[in-house]
Structure 1
């Protein structure tokens, strides 16, 4: 019983401390920045013009956020993107935000992350301010609109898609922007990899291209070039902006990890690595790509590995090294279906060359994992969006779609006969 007064006094002290903390939290309110100047953003802007429309964009760094928002909003896990659209057409245009980032953040979402307890009117001012700085649709004919779009963060270089919708038309743009304060991995700095012109063969017809793709290596190797690594089961053909735009539209992001560079093709690590993020940040599918020393009618040709980790979307998302799931054909086919919905695919075909392996006699890769495959490479031809599903041409190199019900993983033989 004698402890009750002491307990009572303790509870009073705790209550007072809590009240003081709440009061301080409510006092630590946000204030409107004294001046909003987009001049520094314009100095770094990257611009493009098409069909009477000019677009400009800049990625905001932490200093830009502090100046424009009175707080470093980058620390909340978003990456503000400044956009400006000059509409020189006779139509009203709308920015399709999901085309820039399928998982973009609304201004109110980001503002809410900065709310304070019992902020009241200050929180309301914060919401209004973030909304007013956001990009506002529509863009009337002859008008200019500028504002902020909150995207997911990228490092080094950010590929930004800007899709403007009018009546029965879409005006697409793709811009490569440098991220302030970011470091660019020197292994990824050369995009595309600069082959000497004398080492590049430009094929003009599909038949000769098909033969060249089948002659590419079946697989990557280790750094010594002696041990076989993961299979090269995909090829992408097109302009870099079109390839990148299609991948970004399907939520693939540049995400190179140290383990990716143990895979070597043409004597070097991958020129790019992209991963599609799933629930809880788990990596669902990865793509490692290498620019090949061939072209098709002047367009770039990338050979790639497409794989998924053991566990798929249930794999621990904090892992630094993932084990390849053995069914690599499934990962390849998931990617194909994903890209078909990107509105950026012009043609699709399949060629031999990846080396068939059956489930009963799988092939071993670098870390001791095994895989099986029908040995086919998916060849995706990219074009400037939009392209509908009904526009996609299916090449008859290997009649994969017609023969899928008869082909088994690891099946051998020439499917074109």
Structure 2
């Protein structure tokens, strides 16, 4: 993937200002069959070469415009890959900052090939960059647990996040990830999750501006919540229509492994609104959807679609909170939950959606009739 400045050197025009990022792909087809490259797997909303040319032409004469058309068409990555040949070119993707996952899928000869890799992209100050993961724990502090031992260990962990001095309880720690860290991050970024920007003057201004005008801010910072005696190691979010609405999650690297793989504790909720507050450095805070289980299970669906998730199960983390007796997070928002913590196991190679296995540990209650009864009871009381 090339930078904005490199794109100007190569193409003679700016791509970044148009939200376009050029990714260079080089494929050596050593099979005996022609292959077909699927650019939609690299970016579901990629730009065609002539579309890019149209966006950047500016004030060219007719001859100059034709030259721009030819340039982008000639340099674009072909979709047909002849056998025994090396083929390369640019795919014009949507511009990402922080981290970009490049996914490549090839079809041909009755087979398919898939690979992906992550690229660091400059342009924002990521919150995760302040964490030195090699120094979180000493090697001797990690316990390598079996799955049964992991279930027992998770049952001993606190149910919820806290404030810095651990005097107040916050949002539930409602999921756990097990697998290679790069594989986990790749799956999330591919599904549209963005790493969050560090809280600083620029990000505070962008957050406030987005709040005032109702625009989207993909990398908006998140406030610190605490688990394992520290703030989150990294946070990700999936922006929706505007800054008022997003799914966001926090992750903490745990001092355990499961069958040799890293383990992460996580907290996820769905933001449904924004309000001003003096309790946050950004002067704003999000109101969460009270149904935190819905956000938890949304993540499960999303990871199934990533085709990196192999197995999942649920373990008991806390007593249920109902509509009649909700829990509350640190900003006072109520939440309801069945009290289960989702545990997801990621493996290579890719796992088709129909082969993702439910381990059958605990079963979440998805019957909403209980909710209706509680809502009717609350209405009668009022």
Q: TM-score, normalization: structure 1?
A: 0.73
Q: Find the aligned partners of 1:355 and 1:92 in 2 and give their Cα distance.
A: 57
Instruction: List 4+ stretches of structure 1 deviating above 4 A.
Output: 180-189, 191-194, 280-283, 406-409
1:364 corresponds to 2:342: no
Q: Which moved more, 1:156-165 or 1:142-151?
A: 156-165
Structure 1 residues 215 and 196, CA gap change in structure 2 (3 angstroms)? same
Match of 2:90 among 133, 144, 148: 148
Match of 1:323 among 287, 305, 309: 287
SS in 2 for 1:291: strand
Deviation at 1:180, TM superposition (A): 4.4
Q: Find the aligned partners of 2:165 and 2:37 in 1 and give their Cα distance.
A: 49
Q: Which runs of 5+ in 1 are unaligned?
A: 1-58, 313-317, 410-417
Q: Find the aligned partners of 2:344 and 2:225 in 1 and give their Cα distance.
A: 22
Q: Find the aligned partners of 1:94 and 1:213 in 2 and give their Cα distance.
A: 45
Q: Find the aligned partners of 1:140 and 1:214 in 2 and give their Cα distance.
A: 55
Match of 1:207 among 139, 142, 148: 148
SS in 2 for 1:212: helix
Deviation at 1:168, TM superposition (A): 3.8
Deviation at 1:123, TM superposition (A): 2.8
Structure 1 residues 209 and 253, CA gap change in structure 2 (3 angstroms)? same
Q: Find the aligned partners of 1:87 and 1:218 in 2 and give their Cα distance.
A: 51
Q: Find the aligned partners of 1:237 and 1:407 in 2 and give their Cα distance.
A: 33
1:230 corresponds to 2:152: no
Structure 1 residues 295 and 341, CA gap change in structure 2 (3 angstroms)? same
Contact 1:93 1:165 in 2 (8 A): yes
Q: Find the aligned partners of 2:16 and 2:144 in 1 and give their Cα distance.
A: 44
SS in 1 for 2:313: strand
Contact 1:289 1:303 in 2 (8 A): yes
| Larger fraction in strand | 2
Residue deviations 1:190-216, cap 9 Å, x none? 467742112111112x22221122222
SS in 1 for 2:227: coil
SS in 1 for 2:88: strand
Q: Find the aligned partners of 1:192 and 1:92 in 2 and give their Cα distance.
A: 44
Match of 1:85 among 14, 27, 43: 27
- Quote the RMSD (CA, aligned, Å): 2.8
Residue deviations 1:55-96, cap 9 Å, x none? xxxx21122011111012112222222222223333433333
Contact 2:235 2:250 in 1 (8 A): yes
Q: Which runs of 5+ in 2 are unaligned?
A: 200-220, 275-281, 372-382
Partner residue of 1:67? Answer: 9
Q: Find the aligned partners of 2:124 and 2:32 in 1 and give their Cα distance.
A: 39
Match of 2:256 among 258, 269, 294: 294
Q: Find the aligned partners of 1:407 and 1:397 in 2 and give their Cα distance.
A: 23
Partner residue of 2:45? Answer: 103
SS in 2 for 1:81: strand
Contact 1:60 1:179 in 2 (8 A): no
Q: Find the aligned partners of 2:174 and 2:360 in 1 and give their Cα distance.
A: 18
Q: Give the 5 Å matches for 1:306-345.
A: 306-311=268-273, 321-345=285-309
Match of 1:284 among 246, 251, 254: 246
Structure 1 residues 273 and 185, CA gap change in structure 2 (3 angstroms)? closer
Q: Find the aligned partners of 1:319 and 1:89 in 2 and give their Cα distance.
A: 58
Contact 1:218 1:355 in 2 (8 A): no
Structure 1 residues 195 and 97, CA gap change in structure 2 (3 angstroms)? farther
Contact 1:340 1:389 in 2 (8 A): yes
Contact 2:244 2:286 in 1 (8 A): no
Deviation at 1:282, TM superposition (A): 6.5
Q: TM-score, normalization: structure 2?
A: 0.80
Deviation at 1:304, TM superposition (A): 1.1
SS in 2 for 1:300: strand
Residue deviations 1:23-64, cap 9 Å, x none? xxxxxxxxxxxxxxxxxxxxxxxxxxxxxxxxxxxx211220
1:239 corresponds to 2:159: no
1:376 corresponds to 2:340: yes
Contact 1:158 1:176 in 2 (8 A): yes
Match of 2:351 among 387, 398, 401: 387
Q: Which moved more, 1:255-264 or 1:387-396?
A: 255-264
Structure 1 residues 179 and 384, CA gap change in structure 2 (3 angstroms)? same
Q: Find the aligned partners of 2:14 and 2:269 in 1 and give their Cα distance.
A: 36
Structure 1 residues 186 and 328, CA gap change in structure 2 (3 angstroms)? closer
Structure number with bigger Rg: 1
Q: Which moved more, 1:269-278 or 1:343-352?
A: 269-278
